[in-house]
Chains A and B, each alone.
Chain A
Amino acid sequence: MALTAAEVARLGELARIRLTESETELLAPQLDVILAAVARVTEVATPDVPPTSHAIPLTNVFRDDVVVPSLPRADVLAAAPSVEDGRFRVPRILGEDA
C-alpha cells in the first residue's frame, strides 16, 4: 500500500489541512502502519455479510412541520471571526465563477 508523503499531502488538501513537509513525512509511515493493520477487515468482510451503518435499527424518525423560534441574530453572529451587515464575512472564494 505504501502511502507516499505526496499522497498524504493530497489527502490533506482534500481535507483542507495544510500539512508541513515534516508532517507529511512523519504521517506517511504512521498511516501505512495503521492502514496495514486495519486492512484486516477485508479478511472477514465477505459478500454475504450485509453492512451495518446504524447499530440500533430505527426507521422513520420525523418531526412535525412546525416552526420553532430561531436564534437571535446577535447569538448567531457572536462567535463569528468577522461580520458585516448581519452576515458572516469570509475571505474571497476561489474556484467557481458564479
Chain B
Amino acid sequence: MSDALMSFDDAMAAFDPVLGLEVHVELNTATKMFCGCANVFGSEPNTNTCPVCLGLPGSLPVVNAKAIESAIRIGLSLGCDIAEWCRFARKNYFYPDMTKDFQTSQYDEPIAFDGRVELEVDGETFVIEIERAHMEEDAGKLVHAGGVTGRIGDAEYSLVDYNRAGTPLIEIVTRPIRGTGAKAPAVAKAYVSYLRDLMRALGVSDVRMEQGSLRCDANVSLMPTGETELGLRTETKNVNSLRSIEAALTYEIRRQAAVLAAGGKVHQETRHWHEEGYTTPGRSKEQAEDYRYFPEPDLVPVAPSREWVEELRATLPEAPDAKRKRLQAAWGFADQEFADIVNAGALDLIEATVAAGATAPTARKWWLTELARRANETGVELSELAITPTQVAAVQALVEAGTVNDKLARQVIDGVLAGEGEPAEVVAGRGLAVVSDDGALISAVDRAIAANPDVAAKIREGKMAAAGALIGAVMKDLRGQADAARVRELIVERLG
C-alpha cells in the first residue's frame, strides 16, 4: 500500500524486534467444545448447530472431555505445567458471529502454563517461552455481501453461518520473544511450523492453515538497538500460511521502522495482512476493549487429577525436534537439505516413503521436486496430493528395476494422481514400460540413421556430440519408452 517502508537491513541496524505469537489451534474432536454438534469443516451453512452453540435462551454448555484431554496433551508437549484447578471465564463483547455475545474462554486460570520450545533456525538455537495454552471456543463465520470488494469495510450487510461457532480452540501464547534480530520473521515461521508438526504428531488437529484450523496472530514491536524498554506493538491477524507469517512480520518491521525513524509513533492496533503483501490497520487498541471477564457460572471448575495428567503424558508422541534429529542422522542429509524437507512439510511423507522401501535421497527427490511442483501448481499441501508415500516408493522401485526411466516415472505419477490406480497398474494401463528388447531398439536406431543421414555422417566422422539428435529421434519413435544409455551404445555400435 502507501506505507513508507525502511529496508529490512537498515531496520535491523537501528532496531531490535520483539515478537509475540498467539496461535489458535482448532481441535479435531468429533463434536464441538460445549455441545454434541459435529465438528466438521465445509457443511451447508447452519446445519451443525443446536440450541447450545446457537446460544439460544436457556441453553447451557457441557465441556467435551476429549477437548480437555487434547488441551492437556498439547500443554504437556509444550513443556507446560498443567493447572490443578482452573475455570472457564466469560469474555464479554458484542459481535454478530458470537451467539451469546460472550466468548467462553479461559482468563487468568489457563489449563496449561509456563512451557518452552527450542527451535533451531539456520544453525542457531532459540528458546520460545510459552506463557499459556488455554481453552476457548471459536465463533461463527461471516460473509460480507454487497459493496465492491466483498470486504467488511464497504459491505451492505453480512451473512452468518454458525457451523464453526463452538469449535474447540486451544490458544497458545508466547512470552515476548527477544534476541532474534534479523531472524525474527524466520523464527516466527519456524515456531508456527513446529507447532503445526507437533499438533499433527499429537493427532489433535487437522492443522490446515488454509482452512483456518491453525491461525496465527503475530505481534511485533521495535526497540532501538541497545535499549530494553518494549515499544508499542501491532498485532497482525489473518496470517494464514507459513510464508505469510514471514512476509507479514518483515513488512511490519519495515513499516514500524520507517514510522519510528521519521520520529512518529507506532499505534497499538490490530492490522490485517493482505496476501498481496501489505498490512492495513484494523481496530485501534488505544481504547482498549473492556471484556469484563468473570468466572463462567454455567461451567464447573476443571481439576485434572495428577494420575490423569501422567496417563496423558504417556501418550505423547516423540517430540518433533527429537524426531528431526533422529531422522537427519539416520538419513545423512546436510542441514540445508534437511531444512528444505522440514520447510516443505515433507518430513512425515519422506519418513513413510522410506519405510515403504525407498532410499532417503530418492524419497526426498520425488517429494521435493516433482511432487512439490505439482502441489504448488494446484495450490495444495504435499500431504493433500492424491498419492501416498507407499505409491511414491513403488514408483521408485519401478525405476530401480529398470521398468521405467525417470521421464516415464513422471507419467506414472500423473496416472496415480489422475486416479488410474497403483503405479504398476498405470504402467500397464498406459503402456509405459521401457523397451528393453534390443531387436526393437536396433530397428528403431536403424530407422533414425536412415532418416537422418547428415547426422549419421557426422557421427561417423567422430563428432559424438551429434548423437543426441539421433537419440532424440529414437526416443520420439518409441514414445520415450527406451533406456537412453542403451540407445547411445547401439548408435555407437552401428556407426562406430
Contact = CB atoms under 8 A, between A and B. Distances in A.
A93 B142 contact: yes
Given A96-B270, A98-B272, A63 B51 contact: no
B300 A66 contact: no
Nearest to B304: A60
A40 interface: no
A16 B94 contact: yes
Contacts of B156: 92
B215 to A, nearest CB: 12
A70 B59 CA distance: 14
Nearest to A65: B66
Contacts of B144: 93
Contacts of B125: none
B48 interface: yes
A78 B304 CA distance: 41
B280 A92 contact: no
B327 interface: no
Given A54-B297, A70-B50, A59 B85 contact: yes
A98 B161 CA distance: 16
B63 A61 contact: yes
A16 B68 CA distance: 33
22 contacts: A53-B297, A59-B303, A60-B301, A61-B63, A61-B300, A62-B65, A63-B36, A63-B62, A65-B64, A65-B66, A66-B30, A70-B47, A70-B48, A85-B159, A86-B47, A88-B160, A90-B157, A92-B152, A97-B151, A97-B282, A98-B151, A98-B237
Nearest to A68: B36
Nearest to A87: B159
Contacts of B237: 98
Interface string B265-304: 0000010100000001111000000101011010111111
Interface residues on A, range: 20 to 34
Interface of B: 29-31, 35-38, 44-51, 54, 62-68, 85, 87, 94-96, 142-146, 151-153, 155-162, 237-238, 270, 272, 280-283, 290, 292, 294-295, 297, 299-304
Interface of A: 14, 16, 53-54, 58-68, 70-71, 73, 76-77, 84-93, 95-98
B38 A14 contact: no
Contact of B300 (A54, A76, A88, A98): A54
Contacts of B155: 92-93
Given A59-B85, A63-B65, A76-B46, A89 B152 contact: no
A62 B99 CA distance: 22
**Interface SS majority for chain A:** loop
Contacts of A71: 49-51, 54
A76 to B, nearest CB: 5
A66 to B, nearest CB: 7
Given A54-B297, A63-B65, A89 B159 contact: yes
Contacts of B94: 16
Contact of A90 (B160, B281, B303): B160
B96 A90 contact: yes
Given A67-B37, A73-B44, A98-B142, 7 more contacts: A59-B301, A64-B66, A65-B29, A87-B161, A91-B158, A92-B156, A98-B282
Contacts of B294: 53
Contact of A86 (B46, B51, B68, B295): B46
Given A97-B152, A97-B280, A67 B297 contact: no
A84 B87 CA distance: 38
A53 B295 contact: yes
A65 to B, nearest CB: 4
B51 A92 contact: no
A73 B47 contact: yes
Contacts of A16: 94
Contacts of A91: 157-158
A23 to B, nearest CB: 19
